[in-house]
Structure 1
Amino acid sequence: MWSERRPDCGRGELFGLQVADVDFLRRSLTVDRQVQPGPGGTVVPGPLTNEWSYRTLPVGQVVVDVLAAHLAEFRATGTAYVFRDEAGEPLHRNQFNKDVWLPARTAAGLPEATCHDLRHFYASVLIGAGHSPKVVADRLGHSDPAMTLRVYSHLWPEDDDRTRQAIDDVFRRGVPTARPSIGA
């Protein structure tokens, strides 16, 4: 499970995002590094957890617009980190938790919300929109759809009505008779 493999729930990937990883024209983000807390309150860039974690994520126009506004306010280019401290270093998760995450979740009336809850929300939105386990697995950086199903299967809707509808739709189009007419 995500929370067992990565205690930071993706913050390391987010804080490792560099301006060059954002393709505004194609509306995508390349995830190919993470940063983790290092000794003495430092932040250390490093590789991702596994090969499936390396991915390009399509992002909506809303995300592109927010990133553009953020970078207009906090100017950066190339290999500069998108989310950084005053010294230009990537955010440290403790700093983020105290200065950004706690105030945001308190203001939203969700004081107990975790970063993992955001990941779960993202997965549930994709599932609710009808995306396949393969697509959800790819977006979350899971090694295979079976892992995604183990974690999120409870979010897929019951398919009883959809399977009934599929068969009804086929039969309503006209189905040849199962038995030819006798005497024809």
Structure 2
Amino acid sequence: MKGHIRERSPGHWAIVLDVGEIDPKTGKKKRKWHSFSGTKREAQKECSRLITALDQGSYVEPTKQTVAEFLDEWLTFIKPSVAPKTHERYAEICRKGLAPLIGNVMLSKLKTDRIDVAFTTALTAPRVDHRIKKDSDQREPLPPLAPRTVHHYRRVLVKALGQAVTWERLSRNPATATTSPKVERQKMLAYDVSQTATLLETLRPTRMFIPILLAVTCGLRRGEILALRWRHLELGDNRRQMSIEESAEQTDDGVRYKEPKSGRARTVALSASTVAELKAHRVRQAEEQLRLGLRPDGNSFVVAQVDGQPLQPRSLTHEWVRVLGKTSLPRIRFHDLRHTHATQMLSAGVHPKIASERLGHSNIGITLDLYSHVMPGMQADAAEQVDVALQAAISSERQGK
């Protein structure tokens, strides 16, 4: 392969590559043209790189497609193969996050340094709030993006540009070599036993009591609570358990029911007090629905509206924030009630393997990683128990002599 450079204007060059084939229409050699900005030496280096790429078969045709245009194409491509909620998150990151940062850059010219600069800007520069206030034409500045947000941006960009490499739009993925922002681990929030008791007794008269009870005594996720039906529960004296088979997920198109997060169903044992509360709830719910002319059955939702219709996940979250605000308890997320159950289990000496199965983690490593803050106390107790047994054996051995 051969190639040469031509100066178009100061600092701007045309790199001309001779492909070696003859165009049957013109009878002339086929050529590929690239635009380049920089010094003559830099243009010569780029020309050499492109010639090498042609020789090695890693050459990528120049394209004027922008990063924003490619991301839209990629979103359309992956839509059938990912969950609706996942696609919505990807679309929001691509269109509201990545596009304003690097969307106008031509895909073929996107380099690692350009991405790093964009991410650094996002982490340090104030943003503009494009929502104009009614009483003012000024737009309020917003704080820079959080490292965790930029971390998510980077992960999606790496995934998208990986497809660009597969489609031979890029010779390599420039996002893989970018510097990932340091993300500080979020502090795990949970109520202690006393606070949990206060929560349950304070909110017992409200419709949030049963969702809260299922979260703090069974470790269920929000979506799992809202997908739970009476046929999933066994409330007999000899068999007290529930089967977690579905999870409710809210998307822009509505609520859909899918398999649990781990990808498989699980069985959660119920305590006697939880069974008693659920039985009483079933009676109240049946009376409530019968007054409306409805006849509940096994397919009825355990947590439902007055007319038996299922609750939306976002509605449950909004109601949680509202009722919690009327108490003196610390403000935590509804999902932190699940963490409350996990923390109290481990603190009580429940084996992490059992806790992992109860919580529906795909493996015990997730449980140990999430709740490692509970482990030091457990290790201290274990050390004391082993020491007591050892000292007793030593004392027995001495007495035998």
What range is the shorter-chain TM-score in? 0.7 to 0.9
Change (3 A) 1:12 1:160: closer
Q: Which amino acid aligns with 2:241?
A: S
Work out the CA distance in 2 between the residues paired with 1:91 and 1:149. Answer: 32
Relative to 1, partners in 2 of residues 1:148 and 1:77: Cα closer, same or farther, differing over 3 Å? same
CA deviation after TM superposition for structure 1 residue 39, in Å: 4.0
CA-to-aligned-CA distance 1:31-63 (integer Å, 9 cap, x gap): 0001122445x32222222335x2110111221
Question: Pick from 26, 35, 45: which aligns with 2:248?
Answer: 35
Alignment of 1:106-117 (within 5 A): 106-110=325-329, 112-117=331-336
Asked if 1:101 is matched to 2:314, the reply is no
Deviation at residue 68 of structure 1 after TM alignment: 1.4
Q: C-alpha displacement at 1:158, in angstroms?
A: 4.7
Equivalence for 1:24: 235
Q: Which runs of 5+ in 1 are unaligned?
A: none
| Contact 2:249 2:256 (C-alpha < 8 Å) held by counterparts | yes
Q: Distance in 2 between matches of 1:94 and 1:169?
A: 52
Aligned equivalent of 2:257, options 33, 36, 45: 45
Which digits, 9 at most, give the CA deviation of each residue in 1:42-100, with x for residues without a partner? 32222222335x211011122112211221111132111111124433210222223x3
Distance 1:59 1:69, change over 3 A: same
Q: 1:128 aligns with which of 347, 350, 357?
A: 347
Query: Is 2:284 the partner of 1:73?
Result: yes
In structure 1, how many angstroms separate the alpha carbons of the residues matched to 2:268 and 2:390?
36
Per-residue deviation, 1:163: 2.0
Summarize the Cα distance change of 1:22–1:165 in structure 2 as closer, same or farther, 3 Å threshold: closer
CA distance in 2, matches of 1:71, 1:134: 32
Unaligned residue ranges in structure 2 (runs of 5+)? 1-85, 87-219, 287-295
How far the C-alpha of 1:139 sits from its partner, in A, is 1.0
Q: Which has the higher contact order (CA 8 A, sep 6+)?
A: 1
Structure 2 CA distance for aligned equivalents of residues 71 and 37 of structure 1: 25
Aligned to 2:171: none
> Could you report, residue by residue, the CA deviation over 1:139-163 in whole angstroms, capped at 9, with x for unpaired residues?
1111111111111011121524532
Distance 2:328 2:381 in 1: 36
Deviates more, 1:86-95 or 1:25-34: 86-95
- CA distance in structure 1 between the aligned counterparts of 2:269 and 2:240, rounded to whole angstroms: 6
TM-score computed with the length of structure 1 as normaliser: 0.79
Q: Report Cα offsets for 1:78-124 as digits up to 9, x if no partner.
A: 111111124433210222223x3123312332362101210111001
Partner Cα separation in structure 1 for residue 357 and residue 345 of structure 2: 11
Q: Which has more radius of gyration?
A: 2
- One-letter amino acid of the structure 2 residue matched with residue 120 of structure 1: H
Distance 1:49 1:11, change over 3 A: same
Counterpart CA distance in 1 for 2:249 and 2:391 is 57
Residue of structure 2 aligned with 1:119, choices 334, 338, 348: 338
The percentage of counterpart residues that share the same residue type is 26
What is the number of residues matched between the two proteins?
169
Distance 1:158 1:71 in 2: 38
Q: TM-score, normalised by structure 2?
A: 0.39
The answer (yes or no) to whether the contact 1:37–1:44 under 8 Å persists in 2 is yes
The letter for the 2-side match of 1:123 is: A
1:145 and 2:356 correspond? no
- The answer (yes or no) to whether the contact 1:43–1:91 under 8 Å persists in 2 is no
Specify the code of the residue in structure 2 equivalent to 1:175.
Answer: E
Secondary structure, aligned partner of 1:159? helix
Q: Distance in 1 between matches of 2:243 and 2:378?
A: 34
